[in-house]
Structure 1
């Protein structure tokens, strides 16, 4: 016999504070160089085919050497977000992902 607590424990969606699908902002920092924003957008599109580049927010560092890029993706699962974070953090142009 299955109890309600057994069902909740076997449902990975119950382990997350995020309800899927949802809009999920991710901040990506890197050197302020040509191609950085494009590279971040391309990674976002691999994980969210409906990603809209017009929603990208940019913020220069105080000295202008670094650029903060906020992308907002449609998160569909914890696995999708984990893979997206891995892809971003392993990209050679990316310094930090929040």
Structure 2
């Protein structure tokens, strides 16, 4: 059985939390983890993650694993393609 999107995101966050990540990345991921633990609305959590990670991605300040996670949560699997779609396509080659 395929895990739920919530479980998938939580597992990804737990895997990403590493000592060599930036304080900004850690703060953003821990906030999302707290929201998941409270069973907040997943699209809101994913949207918040994407919104908070986007400026770091545009400035090339994401570690490679967090950059890959950003692309994943910004994709159609988690969000509808919106205004950030062009940015996501532009950044895709950088992290994949």
Q: Is the radius of gyration larger for structure 1 or structure 2?
A: 1
TM-score between the two structures when normalised by the length of structure 1: 0.31
Q: Which has the higher contact order (CA 8 A, sep 6+)?
A: 1
The structure in which a higher percent of residues are strand is: 1
